Structure 1
Amino acid sequence: MMKKGKTLLAVLLMLISVVASASVKIVPEPVEIHEYSGKFTLPSEVTISDFRDGKMVDTYIELSSKILKTKGVALKKGGKNSTVKLSISKKIKGEGEYIIEVGKRDIRIQAADEDALWCGLQTLTQLLSQGVDRQMVIRDEPRFGYRGAMLDCCRHFFSVEDVKSFIDMMAVHKLNRFHWHLTEDQGWRIEIKKYPRLTEIGSVRESTYMTNYSGEQCDSFVDKPYGGFYTQDDIREIVKYAQDRHIVTIPEIEIPGHSVAALASYPWLGCTGGPYKVRVKWGISEDVMCIGKETTWQFIRDVLDEVCQLFPGELIHIGGDETPRKKWSECPDCQALMKKEGMTEEAQLQSWITTKVENYLATKGKRIIGWDEVLEGGVSTKCVVMSWLKGSVGGQKAAGLGNDVIMTDKYHCYFDCYQTDTREGELFAHKRNIPLEKVWSYNPIGGMDDASASHVLGVQCNTWTEHISSMDRVYFMNLPRMAALAEVAWSTPASLSGYQDFLQRLQSSLIPIYQAAGWNFAEFYKKDIK
């Protein structure tokens, strides 16, 4: 009995810390960190065992080498005796779960699947960046399967390399869904072979508004054409780039509102026949697709056919938000369709086209996502609802109806908004204030019972770009708020050690990574440190 007691005491003495008091700081906060008294010697050249076809290791080294080089750590693919050994283990049962064991001379990462193994490698970057020197075990798994970020490339266009950089930024935060906003009133950004005027006409507006770097609280007007679009080869390149980083790309093709760029390209898509011009001003246009014409439905099918060939993921976002119905109420074709289908209000026209799109995409193995306004005319429970408009109200309603939902509350997840309550030292941004702590404190299942909460697929941050015209500003508006969103998406509230602890972990783990990667980040968080 005494011998067993001494053994237990020895084990307890070896166990140095768990999570909050750990010497290494990780964001998002892991489920468990157990540190031991034994030392680990970090070599200047860290070799990583070749895993399966080697693609994951190659991609990881490409992503992380620049970051770790500034810390004096070189990464290289190795063999059986590598510093870092990767494996898939059937013994690990949690969805997305991985385990990192730092021993005396090597680091072993085991995971339930390849996506989880990739996330384990992102934790490895933070460990190596901090010069890990203790033996430890980290066990971790995500709270939500959907951990997303949206980039609006319509209000302002971003190059292929810019988009790849955004995807890299997502990857280091363990985000895995890239929502790509590609069509809008202010620009059509995706090449559609059957309708070349969409990019010949629809991708360019006659003038534009840009980020105002003077500090004046308004946009800067530029009186010259502005535009750009992605060829289908560009799209394939970006989709593959994201896939290599274990990120699924979800395109957004706006139907039936936010479609003036399409109407300007093909005026017969609208109720009046035009003429239309690609919209310069921000806001909402009354000109939307005419639901009453068969030619509109043919156009939608043709576009979606090409979109489905470019994006292999299951989900296609069809917008559905902010669709004024005034033109439909005045349109003989729309009114005739309403009479034929026994509709009593124009909102049912949107429900009608949404259902047709949903059923059509289902034949191609796809599901639709719509902003929560799609609930107004009624949708099937197969439609995934992205909740934004009234905070979490739309998501709560949709989940209660049995729809899967993605929570992207505009009061917590819109990163085009100001980052402080005082706005001191900030450039012009969207009207709301969303400080870092507010993002970190977001509860995506607040107000839901267990049945409704089970329909929450995950959370997403959105970067709308009316007031963001450069990649440097994209970084600045996302970082470090993306870190807070990542913690909401990954860590359960019960496992979190508090906002002040998050700030300490942020400073040790991700801020050095932002600096090494050359990503511009906001430093307003420093005022929160107590």
Structure 2
Amino acid sequence: MIGELEPREYRQSQHTALAAFSKRSGLMSVAAVALTLLMLSGCGHSEQLSSARIDTPVNVIPAPGSVERGEGRFMVTDGTQLAFGDGAEGKRIAEYVSDLVRRTYGVGLGSSGNTGNGVIQFELAAGTSVTGPEGYSLVATPERIVVSAHDARGLFYGAVTLWQLMSQGEGGLQVPAVTIKDSPRFDWRGLMLDSARYYQPPEFIRKLIDLMALHKLNVLHWHLTDDQAWRIEIKKYPRLTEVGAWRVAAGPAAAADIDPATGKPRLYGGYYSQDEVREIVAYAASRNITIVPEIDMPGHASAAIAAYPRLAASSKPSPQVPADWGIYSSLFNVEESTLTFLEDVLDEVVSLFPGAYIHIGGDEAVKDEWKASPRVQARMRELGVKDEHELQSYIVQRMEKFLSSKGRRLIGWDEILEGGLAPNATVMSWRGIDGAVAAASAGHDAVLSPHPTLYFDHRPYDVPRPPGRGRVITIEEVYAFDPAPAALSEEQRKHILGVQANIWTEHIRTPDRVEFMAFPRAAAIAEVAWSPVKDWDGFSARLPALLDRYKALGVRFAQPAPSRPLDPFRRTSHELSLCSDKIPLSLEDDAPVDSQGGERAVFLVDIMQPCWLFKAADLSKVTSLVASVGQVPFNFQIGDAVTAIELQAPATAVGELEVRLDDCNGERVAVLPLAPAVGNFAVTKLPVAKIAPREGRHDLCFTFTRKSVDPIWVIDSVQLQTSSAGEAE
């Protein structure tokens, strides 16, 4: 589920389909963005959140609640002893911090029962003056360090802070003399990872868990099922992974990539066995992280329906797992056998994930198939529900009762509010903050995860790689978000469990790209969720030390590319201006298909209006133009909105690239035939086009003629050539 702000009825109309896909594409109007940021900038717990800076800062993220600096420093050397008493938890945490210190600083720590001077002591102490199970105190003097907490969770976070306090200085590794008392602002401090669109191997999931722990994030929301894949093994229904975990990627390049073992197009996919899930869940628990699995219903069901067609509301379900992005109309039917199927799935899921919450999705369930199905309409009458929204609510309430019988709580995206909310359900609000406000006002718990600010598939910088949503969401924007809606009373705010950022992976194909999109923005949301301090300048000052730790740990984090002046005669698609911003995306090329076969190009394009402007080009000496183009599949489910895409009739069978002067209705100054590019799945350099010099500066508009929306022809780069360069060509 990928989002827009405002709730809306799912009607099969041009406006609604486009809005729905814009939601999937992470888009909204400029006015809506501005309104959201304005609303959020005024949010906060008045008794908790402070905009004041910490007077004695330390290089710790998230910022601790209380810091008092002392005199001197504690030196950490090879053989410095860790004392942890007799408890297994203390020993586990001491081993954890010892491993971190060895990997990042090359210093080996020992272990001892001695609690005197020269040691780092971890202790579980009932009388510790910190609040909550995740709170801790850390007292460092030149003689010794003591980390104490009521609970092993707090002890773990104290160990994380201790590691961050360490730095290489004169004389070796050192910890400043300091007294810290710290506890989190919110209980739910999460990241969501979408493993349905693209599969990440278990070793990467463990790495992500490790990195979350170092930011004191404690919830991994694991998106395991969607239209494009079913990624979790269910023993009772093996076809869910045998069929549902595999798809042929979209486009002619993938269709032409024949697997010699089958003689058919190569399948992309993968899934997590139950043994792998158990291992990952246990690993997460050792890092104080609870995994919340998501099993989508009643929408985003195409992969499950491909595996078991009897589950479909449609009389003609597709037998293949689809590869398009966007919103499919595929819904589960509401037969008793299908509801039993869903309960059977949840029964196995509950056995694998011991955490309190199970996420059932509930978003973007376009009701067209239910409306068109005589059997579903009859079933509605049997159940006594008045409309399709109440029918979805019936399913949600049924699943909520089932999960409650297993000692678990249901959580879903904010659409589960529509038609009536199940009594004990928790709402994850992604369409702005409205869902959380409505849920908390009605006495339900909520987690804030609003688009676009906390959607990490938006690019962190205006760079072409890696691909992602067209809009840029900076780390500063993430840090500015406050998950405490001012619209709620103090009593209602107690229902806000916390905050979560989402990593949707439609355009994040590889694990290293997930890291790039997640970090360091995850550090910003971690501080938002943990710290009572709101201090962007302080956070910025502490960030370089964190980035150094990333480097030591081998994290591929985002950082801005060095700025360089634009070439006055050459532009890439990302350097050109888009003519519109209806659905702008930074899309990766289709080829080479083999990820080892070379780097793919990335194009910035508005899929509703593929049109680019080379602004203020000096044409006084330009005599020719060279363009490199690519083609990407139109694999986007936008319903009837596709009819709003204007097509320019081609003069030839395969179409042309047209160049017009000053605006897109201006004089046509060049036409470049697309015939040389038709058979090439990668970037093609088109033949040189002659143009007449023009005095002064002019905008140049680039559009493609074509007979259909598929494929989307895209600009890779444009080169304007002067007379000498043109002759050289």
Q: 1:256 to 1:468 in 2, by over 3 A?
A: same
In structure 1, the residue matched to 2:518 is 478
Within the alignment, does 1:461 sit opposite 2:501 as a pair?
Answer: yes
Residue of 236, 241, 260 corresponding to 1:199:
241
- Give yes or no for contact 2:475–2:520 (8 Å, CA) kept in 1: yes
Asked if the contact 2:302–2:330 (Cα under 8 Å) also holds between the matched residues in 1, the reply is: yes
Q: Where does residue 284 of structure 1 map in the other structure?
A: 327
Q: Which runs of 5+ in 1 are unaligned?
A: 1-17, 210-222
Letter aligned with residue 466 of structure 1: E
AA in 2 matched with 1:98: Y
For residues 72-103 of structure 1, the C-alpha deviation after alignment (integer angstroms, 9 at most, x for no partner) is: 43234332247211112222351122100002
RMSD of aligned residue pairs (Cα, Å) = 2.2
User: 1:350 & 1:514 partners in 2: Cα distance?
Assistant: 44
Deviation at 1:129, TM superposition (A): 3.8
Deviations 1:316-364 (A, max 9, x none): 0000001010000111221112112332211111000000000011010
Q: Where does residue 5 of structure 1 map in the other structure?
A: none
- Percent identity between the aligned chains? 39
| Counterpart selection for 1:112 from 150, 154, 170 | 150
Q: What is the TM-score when the length of structure 1 is the normalising length?
A: 0.88
Letter in 1 for 2:537: Q
Q: Is the 8 A contact 1:68 1:129 kept in 2?
A: no
Structure 1 residues 409 and 64: CA distance shift in structure 2, 3 A = farther
State which of 72, 77, 84 in structure 1 corresponds to 2:120: 84
- Per the alignment, in what secondary structure is the counterpart of residue 251 of structure 1? strand
Q: Deviations over 1:184-237 (max 9, x none)?
A: 11110100011010011000002258xxxxxxxxxxxxx631000011000100
Partner of 2:450: 409
Are 2:479 and 1:440 aligned? yes
CA distance in 1, matches of 2:553, 2:72: 32
Q: Residues 241 and 60 (structure 1 numbering): CA distance in 2 closer, same or farther, change over 3 Å?
A: farther
Residue 35 (structure 1) aligns with? 69
Counterpart Cα distance in 1 of 2:362 and 2:464: 36
Aligned partner of residue 124 in structure 1, secondary structure = helix
Which one has a larger percent helix, Structure 1 or Structure 2? Answer: 1
**Contact 1:386-1:395 within 8 A present in 2 as well:** yes
Asked whether the equivalents of residues 208 and 225 of structure 1 are also in contact (C-alpha less than 8 Å), the reply is no
Moved more, 41-50 or 153-162: 41-50
Once the two structures are superposed, the pairs formed by residues 202-281 of structure 1 within 5 Å of their partners are 202-208=244-250, 224-273=266-315, 274-281=317-324
1:517 matched residue in structure 2: 553
Matched residue SS, 1:20: coil
Give SS of 1:462's match: strand
The alignment partner of 1:309 has SS state of helix
Q: CA deviation at 1:53?
A: 4.6
Q: CA deviation at 1:19?
A: 7.2
Letter in 2 for 1:287: S
Letter of the 2:236 counterpart: K
Report the Cα offset of residue 295 of structure 1: 1.2
Structure ID, larger Rg: 2
> What do the CA deviations read for 1:229-288 (whole angstroms, capped 9, x no partner)?
011000100000001111111110011111111000000000124243211011111111
1:320–1:23: structure 2 CA closer, same or farther, 3 Å change rule? closer
Does the 8 A contact of 1:386 with 1:407 survive in 2? yes
Give aligned pairs, total.
490
For residues 434-471 of structure 1, give each alpha carbon's deviation from its aligned partner in whole angstroms, at most 9, with x where no partner exists. Answer: 11001001011133221221100011111111111111
Amino acid at match of 1:400: S
Match of 2:665 in 1: none
Which secondary structure state, in structure 2, belongs to the residue aligned with residue 34 of structure 1? strand
- The separation in 1 between residues aligned to 2:275 and 2:331, in whole angstroms, is 29
Distance in 2 (CA, whole Å) between partners of 1:305 and 1:133 is 48
Go from structure 1 to structure 2 and tell me whether the alpha carbon gap of 1:76 and 1:230 turns closer, same or farther (over 3 Å shift). farther
Hey, what's the Cα distance between the residues in 1 that align with 2:491 and 2:331? 37
**What is the deviation of 1:52?**
4.7
Give 1:347-496 correspondences, 5 Å limit.
347-389=389-431, 391-420=432-461, 423-447=462-486, 448-492=488-532, 495-496=533-534
Q: Distance in 1 between matches of 2:270 and 2:380?
A: 38
Aligned CA distance change for structure 1 residues 94 and 62 (closer, same or farther; 3 Å): closer
Cα distance between partner residues in 2 of 1:54 and 1:525: 46
Q: Which runs of 4+ in 1 moved over 6 A?
A: none
Q: Distance in 2 between matches of 1:46 and 1:468?
A: 43
**Secondary structure in 1 matching 2:527:** helix
Give the C-alpha shift of residue 525 in structure 1.
Answer: 10
Find the residue that maps to 2:54 and give its secondary structure.
helix
Residue 116 of structure 1 deviates from its aligned partner by: 1.1
Q: Is the 8 A contact 2:165 2:176 kept in 1?
A: no
* Residue aligned with 1:318, SS: strand
Give secondary structure in 1 for the equivalent of 2:310: helix
Contact in 1 for aligned 2:467/2:507 (Cα 8 Å): yes
**Distance in 1 of aligned mates of 2:539 and 2:188:** 22
CA distance in 2, matches of 1:50, 1:234: 31
The separation in 2 between residues aligned to 1:460 and 1:110, in whole angstroms, is: 28
Aligned-partner residue type, residue 184 of structure 2: P
Q: Could you say which residue in structure 1 is the equivalent of 2:542?
A: 505
Distance 2:561 2:539 in 1: 11
Paired position in structure 1 for 2:131: 94
* 3-state SS in 2 of match to 1:459: strand
Partner of 2:60: 26
Shift, 1:526, TM fit: 9.8
Asked whether the equivalents of residues 28 and 483 of structure 1 are also in contact (C-alpha less than 8 Å), the reply is yes
- Asked if the contact 1:58–1:77 (Cα under 8 Å) also holds between the matched residues in 2, the reply is no
Q: 1:50 to 1:126 in 2, by over 3 A?
A: same
Partner SS state of residue 477, structure 1:
helix
Residue 296 of structure 2: SS of its match in structure 1? coil
Q: Write the deviation string for residues 27-81 of structure 1: whole angstroms up to 9, x where unpaired.
A: 1111111111244233233432235553554466457635654434323433224
Partner amino acid for 1:40? F
Given that 2:122 and 2:146 are in contact with CA atoms closer than 8 Å, whether structure 1 keeps it comes out as yes
* TM value normalised by structure 2: 0.65
The answer to whether the 8 Å contact 1:68/1:125 transfers is no
Distance 1:140 1:19, change over 3 A: farther
The CA distance in 1 between the partners of 2:416 and 2:365, in whole Å, is 10
Q: Which residue identity is paired with 1:453? A: R
**Residue aligned with 1:80, SS:** coil
Residues 301-310 or 424-433, more deviating: 424-433
